Structure 1
Amino acid sequence: MAANYSISDLARELDITTRAIRFYEEQGMLAPERRGQERIYTAKDKVTLKLILRGKRIGFSLAECKELIELYDPAGGNRKQLETFMDKISERRAQLEQQLLDIQQMQLELDTAEERCLAALEQTQA
Protein backbone atom coordinates (compact mmCIF):
# COMPACT_ATOMS: atom_id res chain seq x y z
CA MET A 1 0.00 0.00 0.00
CA ALA A 2 1.28 3.45 -0.93
CA ALA A 3 2.13 5.88 1.83
CA ASN A 4 -0.37 8.65 2.40
CA TYR A 5 0.15 11.77 4.47
CA SER A 6 -2.02 14.42 6.02
CA ILE A 7 -1.01 18.04 5.59
CA SER A 8 0.23 18.14 9.19
CA ASP A 9 2.27 14.95 8.65
CA LEU A 10 4.06 16.51 5.68
CA ALA A 11 4.56 19.82 7.44
CA ARG A 12 6.12 18.08 10.42
CA GLU A 13 8.33 15.76 8.34
CA LEU A 14 9.60 18.53 6.05
CA ASP A 15 9.74 21.22 8.73
CA ILE A 16 7.51 23.65 6.85
CA THR A 17 4.17 25.22 7.64
CA THR A 18 0.84 23.88 6.51
CA ARG A 19 0.28 27.31 4.96
CA ALA A 20 3.34 26.80 2.75
CA ILE A 21 1.97 23.47 1.57
CA ARG A 22 -1.41 25.06 0.79
CA PHE A 23 0.42 27.82 -1.10
CA TYR A 24 2.20 25.27 -3.32
CA GLU A 25 -1.16 23.63 -3.88
CA GLU A 26 -2.67 27.00 -4.92
CA GLN A 27 0.22 27.42 -7.37
CA GLY A 28 -0.73 24.12 -9.02
CA MET A 29 2.37 22.29 -7.88
CA LEU A 30 0.49 19.82 -5.69
CA ALA A 31 -2.90 18.20 -6.21
CA PRO A 32 -3.78 16.12 -3.15
CA GLU A 33 -6.81 13.89 -3.07
CA ARG A 34 -9.68 15.30 -1.02
CA ARG A 35 -11.81 13.45 1.47
CA GLY A 36 -14.27 16.10 2.51
CA GLN A 37 -12.13 18.91 3.92
CA GLU A 38 -9.14 16.63 4.50
CA ARG A 39 -6.22 16.65 2.08
CA ILE A 40 -4.54 13.30 1.42
CA TYR A 41 -1.00 13.58 0.06
CA THR A 42 0.91 10.76 -1.64
CA ALA A 43 4.59 9.83 -1.64
CA LYS A 44 4.82 11.64 -5.01
CA ASP A 45 3.52 14.82 -3.37
CA LYS A 46 6.17 14.44 -0.66
CA VAL A 47 8.90 14.11 -3.30
CA THR A 48 7.52 17.16 -5.13
CA LEU A 49 7.66 19.19 -1.92
CA LYS A 50 11.23 18.06 -1.29
CA LEU A 51 12.19 19.16 -4.81
CA ILE A 52 10.52 22.55 -4.30
CA LEU A 53 12.36 23.07 -1.02
CA ARG A 54 15.69 21.99 -2.51
CA GLY A 55 15.20 24.30 -5.49
CA LYS A 56 14.40 27.22 -3.22
CA ARG A 57 17.51 26.51 -1.11
CA ILE A 58 19.76 26.80 -4.16
CA GLY A 59 18.07 29.99 -5.28
CA PHE A 60 15.60 28.87 -7.90
CA SER A 61 12.36 30.77 -8.24
CA LEU A 62 9.08 28.99 -7.68
CA ALA A 63 8.40 29.21 -11.43
CA GLU A 64 11.73 27.48 -12.14
CA CYS A 65 10.94 24.75 -9.62
CA LYS A 66 7.53 24.25 -11.20
CA GLU A 67 9.05 24.07 -14.68
CA LEU A 68 11.54 21.41 -13.60
CA ILE A 69 8.89 19.35 -11.83
CA GLU A 70 6.58 19.52 -14.85
CA LEU A 71 9.38 18.22 -17.08
CA TYR A 72 9.56 14.98 -15.08
CA ASP A 73 8.98 12.08 -17.46
CA PRO A 74 9.99 8.67 -16.13
CA ALA A 75 9.14 7.06 -19.48
CA GLY A 76 11.44 9.43 -21.37
CA GLY A 77 14.40 8.98 -19.05
CA ASN A 78 14.10 12.55 -17.78
CA ARG A 79 16.69 13.81 -20.27
CA LYS A 80 14.85 17.08 -20.93
CA GLN A 81 14.41 17.67 -17.19
CA LEU A 82 18.10 17.00 -16.50
CA GLU A 83 19.27 19.21 -19.38
CA THR A 84 17.04 22.04 -18.21
CA PHE A 85 18.26 21.55 -14.65
CA MET A 86 21.88 21.77 -15.82
CA ASP A 87 21.10 25.00 -17.70
CA LYS A 88 19.48 26.50 -14.61
CA ILE A 89 22.43 25.43 -12.45
CA SER A 90 24.81 27.19 -14.86
CA GLU A 91 22.65 30.33 -14.83
CA ARG A 92 22.46 30.32 -11.03
CA ARG A 93 26.21 29.79 -10.71
CA ALA A 94 26.85 32.74 -13.04
CA GLN A 95 24.48 34.92 -10.97
CA LEU A 96 26.28 33.95 -7.76
CA GLU A 97 29.69 34.64 -9.29
CA GLN A 98 28.51 38.11 -10.35
CA GLN A 99 27.09 38.75 -6.88
CA LEU A 100 30.41 37.71 -5.36
CA LEU A 101 32.28 40.15 -7.61
CA ASP A 102 29.79 42.88 -6.69
CA ILE A 103 30.30 42.17 -2.98
CA GLN A 104 34.08 42.23 -3.35
CA GLN A 105 33.87 45.57 -5.19
CA MET A 106 31.63 46.98 -2.47
CA GLN A 107 34.08 45.82 0.21
CA LEU A 108 36.90 47.66 -1.57
CA GLU A 109 34.79 50.79 -1.71
CA LEU A 110 33.98 50.47 1.99
CA ASP A 111 37.67 50.00 2.79
CA THR A 112 38.48 53.19 0.86
CA ALA A 113 35.71 55.15 2.59
CA GLU A 114 36.86 53.86 5.98
CA GLU A 115 40.48 54.86 5.31
CA ARG A 116 39.40 58.37 4.29
CA CYS A 117 37.24 58.72 7.41
CA LEU A 118 40.08 57.57 9.67
CA ALA A 119 42.46 60.01 8.00
CA ALA A 120 39.96 62.84 8.40
CA LEU A 121 39.46 61.94 12.06
CA GLU A 122 43.20 61.98 12.66
CA GLN A 123 43.43 65.47 11.10
CA THR A 124 40.67 66.81 13.36
CA GLN A 125 42.64 65.67 16.41
CA ALA A 126 45.83 67.37 15.30
Structure 2
Amino acid sequence: MPAQTFTISQLAKEFDLTTRAIRFYEDMGLLAPERAGLQRIYSTRDRARLTLTLRAKRLGLSLTEAKDILDMYDSPRDTVAQLEKFLGVLGTHRAQLEAQLAELQANLAEVKEHEKKGRATLAKAQKAGKAPRPAEAKA
Protein backbone atom coordinates (compact mmCIF):
# COMPACT_ATOMS: atom_id res chain seq x y z
CA MET A 1 0.00 0.00 0.00
CA PRO A 2 1.58 3.32 -1.06
CA ALA A 3 2.09 5.99 1.57
CA GLN A 4 -0.54 8.70 1.63
CA THR A 5 0.53 12.04 0.20
CA PHE A 6 -1.00 15.49 0.11
CA THR A 7 -0.79 18.53 -2.13
CA ILE A 8 -0.22 21.99 -0.74
CA SER A 9 -3.84 22.85 -1.62
CA GLN A 10 -5.16 19.86 0.30
CA LEU A 11 -3.20 20.80 3.42
CA ALA A 12 -4.17 24.45 3.09
CA LYS A 13 -7.84 23.50 2.92
CA GLU A 14 -7.64 20.94 5.75
CA PHE A 15 -5.87 23.31 8.16
CA ASP A 16 -7.55 26.51 6.95
CA LEU A 17 -4.22 28.05 5.96
CA THR A 18 -2.99 29.85 2.91
CA THR A 19 -0.57 28.08 0.61
CA ARG A 20 1.78 30.97 1.33
CA ALA A 21 1.75 30.10 5.06
CA ILE A 22 2.59 26.48 4.27
CA ARG A 23 5.46 27.57 2.01
CA PHE A 24 6.67 29.82 4.85
CA TYR A 25 6.71 26.83 7.22
CA GLU A 26 8.68 24.98 4.56
CA ASP A 27 11.17 27.86 4.33
CA MET A 28 11.53 27.73 8.14
CA GLY A 29 12.46 24.05 7.88
CA LEU A 30 9.31 22.81 9.59
CA LEU A 31 8.15 20.90 6.51
CA ALA A 32 10.19 19.11 3.86
CA PRO A 33 7.98 18.02 0.98
CA GLU A 34 9.22 15.94 -1.92
CA ARG A 35 9.19 17.56 -5.34
CA ALA A 36 7.60 16.29 -8.53
CA GLY A 37 8.75 18.94 -10.93
CA LEU A 38 7.34 22.17 -9.54
CA GLN A 39 4.68 20.43 -7.45
CA ARG A 40 5.21 19.83 -3.74
CA ILE A 41 4.25 16.40 -2.41
CA TYR A 42 3.68 16.35 1.36
CA SER A 43 3.94 13.12 3.33
CA THR A 44 2.02 12.01 6.40
CA ARG A 45 5.14 13.06 8.34
CA ASP A 46 4.81 16.61 6.94
CA ARG A 47 1.13 16.61 7.83
CA ALA A 48 1.92 15.53 11.39
CA ARG A 49 4.63 18.18 11.68
CA LEU A 50 2.18 20.82 10.43
CA THR A 51 -0.36 19.69 13.04
CA LEU A 52 2.26 19.94 15.79
CA THR A 53 3.50 23.30 14.49
CA LEU A 54 0.01 24.76 14.67
CA ARG A 55 -0.47 23.30 18.15
CA ALA A 56 2.82 24.90 19.27
CA LYS A 57 1.65 28.25 17.85
CA ARG A 58 -1.62 27.97 19.81
CA LEU A 59 0.48 27.37 22.94
CA GLY A 60 2.33 30.58 22.10
CA LEU A 61 5.66 29.03 21.13
CA SER A 62 7.71 30.65 18.41
CA LEU A 63 8.23 28.81 15.14
CA THR A 64 11.91 28.43 16.05
CA GLU A 65 10.96 26.77 19.34
CA ALA A 66 8.48 24.54 17.51
CA LYS A 67 11.16 23.55 15.00
CA ASP A 68 13.69 22.78 17.74
CA ILE A 69 11.21 20.50 19.47
CA LEU A 70 10.10 18.78 16.25
CA ASP A 71 13.69 18.27 15.12
CA MET A 72 14.54 16.56 18.41
CA TYR A 73 12.13 13.78 17.57
CA ASP A 74 13.73 13.27 14.16
CA SER A 75 17.14 12.65 15.65
CA PRO A 76 18.23 9.37 17.25
CA ARG A 77 19.19 11.16 20.47
CA ASP A 78 18.23 10.14 23.98
CA THR A 79 14.54 10.47 24.81
CA VAL A 80 15.38 11.87 28.26
CA ALA A 81 17.26 14.80 26.71
CA GLN A 82 14.39 15.42 24.28
CA LEU A 83 11.82 15.50 27.06
CA GLU A 84 14.01 17.72 29.24
CA LYS A 85 14.36 20.21 26.37
CA PHE A 86 10.62 20.10 25.70
CA LEU A 87 9.80 20.65 29.38
CA GLY A 88 12.34 23.48 29.55
CA VAL A 89 10.73 25.28 26.61
CA LEU A 90 7.26 24.78 28.06
CA GLY A 91 8.42 25.95 31.51
CA THR A 92 9.91 29.13 30.09
CA HIS A 93 6.76 29.79 28.09
CA ARG A 94 4.54 29.13 31.12
CA ALA A 95 6.56 31.64 33.17
CA GLN A 96 6.10 34.26 30.44
CA LEU A 97 2.35 33.62 30.32
CA GLU A 98 2.09 33.83 34.11
CA ALA A 99 3.92 37.19 34.07
CA GLN A 100 1.57 38.47 31.35
CA LEU A 101 -1.42 37.21 33.33
CA ALA A 102 -0.23 39.00 36.48
CA GLU A 103 0.16 42.22 34.49
CA LEU A 104 -3.31 41.83 32.98
CA GLN A 105 -4.81 41.17 36.40
CA ALA A 106 -3.17 44.32 37.78
CA ASN A 107 -4.48 46.33 34.81
CA LEU A 108 -7.95 44.88 35.32
CA ALA A 109 -7.92 45.81 39.01
CA GLU A 110 -6.94 49.37 38.08
CA VAL A 111 -9.73 49.60 35.50
CA LYS A 112 -12.24 48.30 38.04
CA GLU A 113 -11.09 50.90 40.57
CA HIS A 114 -11.51 53.72 38.01
CA GLU A 115 -14.96 52.35 37.14
CA LYS A 116 -15.92 52.33 40.82
CA LYS A 117 -14.78 55.94 41.28
CA GLY A 118 -16.53 56.98 38.08
CA ARG A 119 -19.80 55.39 39.17
CA ALA A 120 -19.57 57.06 42.58
CA THR A 121 -18.98 60.45 40.94
CA LEU A 122 -21.89 59.87 38.56
CA ALA A 123 -24.20 58.85 41.41
CA LYS A 124 -23.31 62.01 43.36
CA ALA A 125 -23.92 64.15 40.30
CA GLN A 126 -27.26 62.49 39.56
CA LYS A 127 -28.32 62.85 43.19
CA ALA A 128 -27.44 66.54 43.11
CA GLY A 129 -29.34 66.89 39.82
CA LYS A 130 -26.37 67.94 37.75
CA ALA A 131 -24.08 66.36 35.24
CA PRO A 132 -20.50 65.73 36.41
CA ARG A 133 -17.83 68.16 35.33
CA PRO A 134 -15.22 66.66 32.97
CA ALA A 135 -12.58 66.65 35.73
CA GLU A 136 -14.88 64.64 38.05
CA ALA A 137 -15.78 62.12 35.37
CA LYS A 138 -12.11 61.34 34.69
CA ALA A 139 -11.18 60.74 38.34
Mapping of residues 1-126 of structure 1, within 5 Å = 1-73=2-74, 75-125=76-126, 126=128
Tell me the CA shift for residue 97 of structure 1. Answer: 1.7
**In structure 1, distance between residues paired with 2:53 and 2:112:** 39
Tell me the CA shift for residue 119 of structure 1. Answer: 2.2
* Greater mean deviation of Cα atoms: 77-86 or 103-112: 77-86
Tell me the CA shift for residue 90 of structure 1. Answer: 1.2
In the alignment, structure 2 segments of 5+ residues that lack a partner are: 129-139
Residues 63, 74 of structure 1: alpha-carbon distance in 2 compared, 3 angstrom cutoff = closer
Count how many residue pairs are aligned between Structure 1 and Structure 2. Answer: 126
**In structure 1, distance between residues paired with 2:36 and 2:71:** 25
Q: CA RMSD in A?
A: 1.7
Deviation by residue 1:51-87 (Cα, 9 ceiling, x = unmatched): 1111001110111111112222453343322211111
For residue 88 of structure 2, give the secondary structure of its aligned residue in structure 1: helix
In the alignment, structure 1 segments of 5+ residues that lack a partner are: none
Moved over 6 A (4+): none
TM-score calculated relative to the size of structure 1? 0.87
Deviation by residue 1:83-104 (Cα, 9 ceiling, x = unmatched): 1111111112222222222222
